[in-house]
Amino acid sequence: MTDFENDNFLRACWKKETEFTPIWFMRQAGRYLESYRKVRAKNDVLTICKTPELSAKVTVDATTELGVDAAIIFADIMLPLEGIGQSFKLVDGVGPIVEKPIRQMEDVKRIGKFSPKDHVPFVTDAIELAIQQLDGRAPLIGFSGAPFTLASYLIEGNPSRDFTKTKRMMYAEPEAWTLLMTRLSSMIHDYLLAQIRAGVDAVQLFDTWSGCLSPFDYEKFVLPFNKQIFERLKPGGVPRIHFGVGTAGILKLMREAGGDVFGIDWRISLDEAWAILGDIAIQGNLDPAILLGGNELVHTRSKEILSRVGGRPGHIFNLGHGVLPETSPEHVKNLVQFIHGTTRTKQ
């Protein structure tokens, strides 16, 4: 394992003592940063994702500029889907648009076999480059979308609020749903394992949309597949982060599905989440919109979150979702400095 200048993020993942509360952000490299906008002005998102030099650059630039305690590789959760024959495009202001949505068993059966080496070599190359450029300054996080979240994009064909088509397949075509989730789970495991072998220090499973499900449906239609992924990744020896949005009602089941760290959004307080999850590391949970306010508001809300931690080991400060494009970079930098300074003086 790399001997990092700053390993507080990894220590917190394993619930060990840290010098201060570590902090990083989802969508850490994004449109709110001038360094990213300069790269984006000349390249679309997929070009950045598929060009290792560009992916590594925006990954490392954001980490350095913000002073955060972990980098996360710049990629998109949709990337491995092209490898299994599911074409898509990323539309600004809309999100992923799938060319031929999956709606029935015949569509599922057309899904191809995934090979990280053949289908996403640019991701593992970007990871290796980013690690070289970070030069031991901070750990690097790899990630993937979870089976339900990727399935919802494939079935709906575009971002959805109610996931009606997805739920219709779950309820009306359970065999097709099971086969789809099985194939996606295998793909995701292979994808994350390839990232671990390329050198990432932690992996995050983004089950962003699972919060739309009832506890019963999550347990029946999603939990077994996430659990299989986490169990198969355990021998990799890196922290496994389990993240979702709007998941207060299914946290207990998410804990059963697995993970070493749980990403929590702002709809539940950290102490309440700990009461449900038990003795485990937690990541979160400032509302991203708070960063659109002034620093005084950000500090007040951050103090409230830190007070909920109550001195427990295993807290990683983060937002409850990604940084909003309208966010001032100065507010983000100030938050990093505030968390470091506030928690360092308490120890």
pTM above 0.85, yes or no: yes
User: Which of the four CATH numbers 3.30.70.1150, 3.20.20.210, 3.30.390.10, 3.30.1490.20 does domain 8-345 have?
Assistant: 3.20.20.210
Instruction: Look at residue 141 in the predicted model and tell me its pLDDT.
Output: 98
Residue 143: name the closest of 322, 23, 18, 306 by CA: 322
Q: What pLDDT, on a 0 to 100 scale, did the predictor assign at position 347?
A: 44
Count the neighbouring beta carbons within 10 Å of the beta carbon of residue 118.
9
Region of 75 please: left (phi>0), alpha (psi -120 to 50) or beta.
beta
Q: Which two tokens stand for residue 55?
A: 């992916």
- State the catalytic residue, choosing from 7, 11, 36, 40: 40
Active-site pick, 32, 36, 153, 191: 153
Q: Cis link prior to 285 (omega < 30° from 0)?
A: yes
Predicted pLDDT at 345: 56
Residue of 61, 76, 201, 207 marked active site: 76
Q: Under a CB-based contact definition with an 8 Å cutoff, are residues 195 and 127 in contact?
A: yes
Give residues with Cβ within 8 angstroms of 54, minimum separation 6.
39, 43, 47, 48
* Rg of the chain over all Cα atoms, to the nearest angstrom: 19
Annotation marks residue 103 as catalytic: no
Catalytic residue among 7, 11, 27, 190: 27
User: What pLDDT score was predicted for residue 1?
Assistant: 55
SS (H, E, C) the chain: CCCCCCCHHHHHHCCCCCCCCCECCCCCCCCCCHHHHHHHCCCCHHHHHHCHHHHHHHHHHHHHHHCCCCEECCCCCCHHHHHHCCCEEEECCCEEEECCCCCCHHHHHCCCCCCHHHHCHHHHHHHHHHHHHHCCCCCEEEEEECHHHHHHHHHHCCCCCCCHHHHHHHHHCHHHHHHHHHHHHHHHHHHHHHHHHHCCCEEEEEECCHHHCCHHHHHHHCHHHHHHHHHHHHHHCCCEEEEECCCHHHHHHHHHHCCCEEECCCCCCHHHHHHHHCCCEEECCECHHHHHCCHHHHHHHHHHHHHHHCCCCCEEECECCCCCCCCCHHHHHHHHHHHHHHHHHCC
**68 token code pair:** 């955060």
For residue 92, how many C-alpha atoms fall within 13 Å in the half-sphere facing its CB? Answer: 8
Residue spans per domain, the chain: 8-345
CA distances 61 to 26, 48, 54, 74, 338, Å, are 15, 14, 10, 11, 21
153 catalytic residue (yes or no): yes
Q: Which residues of the chain have pLDDT under 50?
A: 346-347
- Specify whether 31 is catalytic: yes
Q: Tell me the Ramachandran region of residue 199: left when phi exceeds 0, alpha when psi lies from -120 to 50, beta otherwise.
A: left
Q: What is the pLDDT of residue 190?
A: 98
